[in-house]
Amino acid sequence: MFATDVLTGDGPLRRAAAGLAGLAGWRRLAAAAALGGLSALALPPAHALPVLLVSFPGLLWLLAGAPNGRVAFAVGWFFGFGHHLAGLYWVSFALFTDIGRFWWALPLAAAGLPMLLSLFTGLAALVFHRLKANGPAAPLLFAATWAAAEWLRGHLFTGFPWNLTGYGWVGVLPVLQGVSLVGIYGLSLLTVLVAALPAALADPRVPPRRAAAALAAGLALFAALAAWGALRLSAADEAPVAGVRLRLVQAAVEQHLKWDPAERQANFERHLALTAAPAARPVTHVIWPETAVPFFLDADAARRQAVGAVTPPGGLVLTGAPRLGMAADGGTLFHNAMLALDGSGAVVASYDKFHLVPFGEYMPLRRYLPVGAIAGNGAEFSPGPGPRSLRLAGLPPVSPLICYEVIFPAAVTDPDDRPHWLLNLTNDAWYGHTAGPHQHFAIARVRAVEEGLPLVRSANTGISGVVDSYGRVTARLGLGERGIVDADLPAALAQPTPYGRFGDLGFGLLLAGCLICGLLARQSR
């Protein structure tokens, strides 16, 4: 009965479309925010992808009733606000580690960040409205404008490519293999395109059977992508790197205790004890998380000796720690670093984080804000030179990534010196038992599939784990768990993936294809 009603033009779908298009004032904006909040359920850890078949058609119907560009921008902005408010609520949890000092930033983190990010969805809605798309052109042009806005959000003003629509597929590994071809932006574009297709079922200007056929074709596209991904997974080589056995240490130190002067030595000793725990098979290398050592280890010979004493024979301990550097004028620089120590306690290599967190690790508005960075207890970190491949004894070349450096597509390796694996050291204790750490781990898995490189992730309170080049988790320590996990290092793909070789070129071609086809369809109407 429902399908018949839809096809005859008097069904509940068309009544819903007309109802949303006819909303005005605050009701229109409230509906947009509610639909945006609903769309966030498609993201990790919920992975409720079917909600997109409701939220994006609903947004298109709201935009169909927008009388002018100003209203269209407002509809897009409120949709984005609901989306980011629900998807990024956990960011404000970081401030509660010292709420007495950073109480003033709570509304900025909870609502200010979603408000800024929503400018991109507002811009996408405005451009879509200006294109005057309707009928079969609407899903194509909407997907193109939405995906372009996501790409811009990931690159402008240092970039923040979180809450990308394509991350909803992390729980569906066969479909996720598509990012090896077109990256997460390309998978987002395809997802939005198919999710927007049901809007045409309620459009009286589109023949009902043509609208149904377009939706069927879109679903078939993802079925074909899943089939290809399943075939790719079935042919995966599961052989690990010979002679490498990793130990990931997750000490689960709560953030409010991490830098407490009375607790720092005990926290350090906890890492030492976990490192020295017996192993079923000999461990060759040990990995500690971001700032696991709350001291300037490169200038602390006694503690370096303590680390050397628990280092596997002939192996290394790779740990996050703050590091002192020297500026060109002779001043002191602070770096959020990774240090590699051998059995003698010598630092044999180091890496400095290059993509720092605004407001967390440096203050971009320091002239106007009389406070220092949140993560540095007031001090500001200085960036390193960029992605690097380190060559460490007994290990294949590795690209270290500290904290949220791993969230940036096509920016996790040195293009002139391709590594054989990715190493992500992070803290995540800032965000407690929220969606944030789950999202962070999911995003890191996508980088492994994009690049065709295994990823090893060591987190203070979780989630730590090992991910192979196809995004499969081979070892894991859950959120809040204290302990160790010993695991082999998966091998890299013999050849870079298309995305690893060409970056966002595939996404650009998809974007151009959607725009051209959408404009041609609009003209034919």
Under a CB-based contact definition with an 8 Å cutoff, are residues 188 and 171 in contact? no
Active-site residue, selected from the candidate residues 150, 258, 361, 403:
403
410: left (phi over 0), alpha (psi -120 to 50) or beta: left
Provide the CA 380 distance to its chain's centre, in angstroms: 24
Q: Which residues, other chains included, contact 376 with Cβ-Cβ below 8 Å and sequence gap of 6+? A: 334, 361
Concerning whether 450 is annotated as a catalytic residue, the answer is no
Distances, alpha carbon 295 to alpha carbons 65, 97, 176, 254, 330, in Å: 59, 19, 40, 17, 22
Return the bridge partners of 325, or none: 333
* One-letter amino acid of 104: W
- Asked whether the beta carbons of 403 and 290 are under 8 A apart, the reply is yes
The catalytically annotated residue of 258, 353, 450, 451 is 353
Task: Mark whether 290 is an active-site residue.
Answer: yes
Q: 236-243: which pairs have CB atoms within 8 A and are 24 or more residues apart? A: 236/468, 236/469, 236/470, 236/472, 237/491, 238/468, 238/490, 239/491, 240/488, 240/489, 240/490, 240/491, 241/396, 241/420, 241/488, 241/489, 241/490, 241/491, 243/284, 243/394
Catalytic residue chosen out of the listed positions 150, 258, 290, 361: 290
403 classed as catalytic: yes
Rounded Cα–Cα distance for residues 5 and 84 (Å): 35
Any idea which residues carry the catalytic annotation? 290, 353, 403
